[in-house]
Amino acid sequence: MKENKEIPLAGVKEIARRADVSRATVDRVIHNRTGVSEKTRKRILAIIEELDYQPNVLARRLALASRGTVRLGVLLPSASEETEYWKAPLEGMNRAEAEIRQYGVLVSYYFFDQNLQSTFTAQVNRIINDALDGVLIAPIFEKESIQLLNHCKEKGIPCVLMNSDIPGMERLCYIGPELFDSGYLSAQLAHYCLQPGRKAVVVNIARKIKRNVAILEKVEGFQAYFREKDSEELLLSFHTTDTDYDSVASGLSALLEKEPQIGVLYVTNSRVVLVAEWLENIGRKDIILIGYDFLSGNIRFLEKGYIDFLICEKPQEQGYRGIMTLFRHLVFSVTAHEDYLTPIDIVTSANYKFYRN
Amino acid sequence: MKENKEIPLAGVKEIARRADVSRATVDRVIHNRTGVSEKTRKRILAIIEELDYQPNVLARRLALASRGTVRLGVLLPSASEETEYWKAPLEGMNRAEAEIRQYGVLVSYYFFDQNLQSTFTAQVNRIINDALDGVLIAPIFEKESIQLLNHCKEKGIPCVLMNSDIPGMERLCYIGPELFDSGYLSAQLAHYCLQPGRKAVVVNIARKIKRNVAILEKVEGFQAYFREKDSEELLLSFHTTDTDYDSVASGLSALLEKEPQIGVLYVTNSRVVLVAEWLENIGRKDIILIGYDFLSGNIRFLEKGYIDFLICEKPQEQGYRGIMTLFRHLVFSVTAHEDYLTPIDIVTSANYKFYRN
DNA sequence: GATGTTTTCGGGCGCGTGCCCGTAAGCCGT
DNA sequence: ACGGCTTACGGGCACGCGCCCGAAAACATC
């Protein structure tokens, strides 16, 4: 009594039968190759339309496997201790790679040092030289990234940006967060938690702040929220370009002495761990601390109660989707992809156990 | 100068060549079928081990496509207006179905009415009768679900539970939230937002509360948090089995009159929309409202500012993963799946635009 | 040693698609 | 009428794997 009423998903053979031609002719039409008279082409196209023909991706890729391999390249920072962050996207890419290796896809990684522009440039040149079929890049250095994007455009190589966007450039799509909203959301949390009479501090800890788009946009979003709530007078800010613990600690201690009514600290990147350490050392669990990224160090302080909220933007999924987008574009010709703005997740000590990065 | 150094992923042919047998013999060993002498079997197994042979899933499934179809069944509540919630899991399942249809998988849906146990029983019987290859169920009615699980166990049919678990039963895995932690997280948010001197209310709006595991566990989690913070005296509660607006509104109005210091309302399910409506009518944006599920009605009140936090557990992904887990188990023999506890997401007016259900 | 039975294995087809090669029909010029 | 050339199409192999059928080899029986 099985209900085997399933439609057998008509293939090329069925189309050929109905059009009274051979499969090869249908094939020519599907790939708009030459060698088919206009009359039969029309006829076949009509039948394809009618049957809503969907090529079998398995068979297609299997057949294509003989022809050659699709070669993807990824340009991203190497995951050092300082920037453990980049381990996550890499894991996502590896996961994607494992999934699609069967389809004849090969992924090469081009790592660079975030602090050395020269390493970036060198890898850009290697990528150009290697003549890949698709490229995924984290455009940390804007100028050189634009150069690479232009090269890809010229050669018709699809290119996906991740982590941060370069507005106005031609590319397949951008995969990453909307940074302004990320700051705006943090401000909302801060505002909810702010007890009467207390103030909030925006804390920037980074080598270069003025040029760092990621930080600037977040700060703007944060301030925008307080402005909307007519609470701008509650905002303080603290910047330091020294990223070691001592500089951060002494700077914050000085600030706290001058402004004892601090209730919330918002750190614009994953260096929040330094601030958490400081809070632990001065024994102030009552100050709300908001920061970024699902990293082991941050999680530890989340558990201890010194970090209250971590904002996370699914870096692993960013890597996974980046590869998959290129794959689908190249192998299955699924181009209709707009930008993918990652969710902005709130992680606390109560839900971090279930978080998927 | 292309680096085509990739290992060609040795297939059955290569194994056969090295073992000096035909591909058919290798095939017999791979599927541990009879008809191979112990000596050659050992030899072939050694080579398989050595080459770390991974069968090409595309080719495998393509070849299998002729034999027959893998038939999956899903038992879930029909998405009525009242329970729009179930639209999301269904969408996820449809997405999964579209993705794996190429692999010869057919999904049948067995809908029941959440308020009528008889419809559940009827569908259980249909499932048993239809002799499916795999089953995904939302075990709303526990007793009948156990009956179905036992039947599956007997027949060796893999079975995945979703949305809520039945502890102690044999099944492939559970996909859904950890309800206790869901309540616990809500309490944390409530506690953060609670201004001095204000109180929090647990609001249950459901036909049957005492028997509803989902609600009870959440309430327990919520209370546990306040107990840990020694703030139990700040907790009130409100229950109603009448799920219409008027009952909810008049009940809450009475409560508010008696306890004017209410600062937070925690509604344990998606009926939070009724409470939001009430807050709008009495014009009280200052009361923090926490509720469940990413539904259009709830989102509207999130935008307006009457709902502050929505807790969401990725229902769409639950459906997607449910189907995919069965698929991978049946087609690719990827059994090593433990339970998948979905993330517990916090959605506010500032990040809902980016949320993926 | 002839015949039956079991064990062990190879050949070959099919899954749906991509693509190369061959070929018949039509056209043109001489 | 014949050779050369283009156009339009069909036949057939390959991709990697599953599986059926039949054959060879080994063994058993009289």
CATH number assigned to the domain comprising residue A173: 3.40.50.2300
Mind listing the pLDDT tens digit for each residue in A185-199? 999 999 999 999 999
* Same-domain pairing of B275 and B224: yes
Rounded to a whole number, what is the distance in Å from the CA of A302 to chain B's nearest CA? 13
CB pairs under 8 A between A and B: 115
* Same-domain pairing of A172 and A184: no
Q: How far is the CA of B97 from the C1' of C21 (A)?
A: 40
* Same-domain pairing of A256 and A335: no
Can you say whether residue A176 is alpha, beta or left, with left for phi > 0 and alpha for psi between -120 and 50 degrees? left
* Same-domain pairing of A26 and A87: no
For residue B76, being part of any structural domain is answered with yes
Q: Is the pLDDT of residue B128 over 60?
A: yes
Is B39 near strand D, with its CB below 7 A from some atom of it? no
Which tokens in the block code for residue A65?
Answer: 């496997």
DSSP letter for each residue of B190-215: HHHHPPTT-EEEEEEE-S-STT-HHH
Chain A neighbors of B99, CB-CB under 8 A: none
* Same-domain pairing of A158 and A224: no
Question: Which residue, chain included where needed, has tokens 């590319």?
Answer: A171
Which tokens in the block code for residue A156?
Answer: 């018709």
For residue A60, being part of any structural domain is answered with no
Is B1–A129 a contact, with Cβ atoms under 8 angstroms apart?
A: yes
Cα A58 vs. chain centroid, distance in angstroms?
Answer: 28
d(CA B204, CA B237): 8
What are B111's strand-pairing partners? B76
pLDDT more than 90, % of chain B: 67
For residue A218, being part of any structural domain is answered with yes
d(CA B106, CA A4): 9
Question: Smallest Cα–Cα separation from A301: which of A344, A292, B351?
Answer: A292
* Same-domain pairing of B79 and B198: no
Q: How far is the CA of A38 from the C1' of D4 (A)?
A: 25
Domain count, chain B: 3
Contacts of A191 (CB under 8 A, 6+ apart): A200, A225, A226, A229, A231
* Same-domain pairing of B297 and B191: yes
d(CA A160, CA A327): 11
For residue A357, being part of any structural domain is answered with no
What phi and psi, each to the nearest 5 degrees, are found at residue A211? -95, -5
- Mean pLDDT over B315-333 rounds to 89
* Same-domain pairing of A198 and A225: yes
Which stretch of DSSP H or E encloses residue A286?
A: none
Check residue B165 and give its pLDDT: 87
The residue among A140 and B343 whose pLDDT is bigger is B343
Is A356–B350 a contact, with Cβ atoms under 8 angstroms apart?
A: no
Report how far apart, in Å, the C-alpha atoms of A309 and of each of A56, A85, A163, A349, B343 are.
Answer: 46, 17, 21, 8, 15
- Mean pLDDT over B192-209 rounds to 92
Q: Is the pLDDT of residue B248 over 50?
A: yes
Is B56 near strand D, with its CB below 7 A from some atom of it? yes
For residue B353, being part of any structural domain is answered with no
SS3 B135: strand
Q: Among all residues of chain A, which has the CA nearest to that of B56?
A: A102
Is A3–B181 a contact, with Cβ atoms under 8 angstroms apart?
A: no
* Same-domain pairing of A188 and A282: yes
Is A168 near strand D, with its CB below 7 A from some atom of it? no
d(CA B165, CA A30): 48
Is A106–B6 a contact, with Cβ atoms under 8 angstroms apart?
A: yes
* Same-domain pairing of B304 and B326: no
DSSP letter (8 states) at residue B287: S
For residue A161, being part of any structural domain is answered with yes
Check residue B212 and give its pLDDT: 82
Chain A neighbors of B350, CB-CB under 8 A: 181, 184-185, 188, 225, 344
With beta carbons less than 8 A apart as the criterion, state whether A285 and A307 touch: no
Domain encompassing residue B159? 69-177+315-342
- Mean pLDDT over B139-154 rounds to 92
SS3 A27: helix
Rg value, chain A, Cα = 26
pLDDT more than 70, % of chain B: 96
Which tokens in the block code for residue B68?
Answer: 């027959």
- The confidence band for B1, taking pLDDT boundaries of 50, 70 and 90, is very low
Strand C neighbours (CB under 7 Å) are: A 8, 11-13, 23-24, 27, 30-31, 55-56, 59-60, 62-64, 67; B 20-25, 28, 34-40, 59, 62-63, 65-66
For residue B356, being part of any structural domain is answered with no
Contacts of A26 (CB under 8 A, 6+ apart): A12, A15, A16, A19, A44
Check residue A78 and give its pLDDT: 93
What are B211's strand-pairing partners? none
Is A185–B129 a contact, with Cβ atoms under 8 angstroms apart?
A: no
Residue type, A288: I
Q: How far is the CA of B325 from the C1' of C10 (A)?
A: 38
CATH number of the domain at A35, please: 1.10.260.40
- Mean pLDDT over B131-157 rounds to 92
Q: Is the pLDDT of residue B103 over 70?
A: yes
Check residue B4 and give its pLDDT: 37
Tell me which residues from 27 to 56 on chain A have a beta carbon below 7 angstroms from nucleic acid strand D: 28, 34-40
Check residue B357 and give its pLDDT: 87
Check residue A8 and give its pLDDT: 59
For residue B204, being part of any structural domain is answered with yes
Is B11 near strand D, with its CB below 7 A from some atom of it? yes
CB atoms within 10 A of CB B40: 16
* Same-domain pairing of B156 and B184: no
The most confident of A201-215, B200-214, B286-300, by mean pLDDT: B286-300
Q: Which residues of chain A have pLDDT under 70?
A: 1-8, 66, 81, 335-337
Low-confidence winner among B97-101, B106-110, B214-218, B285-289 (lowest mean pLDDT): B97-101
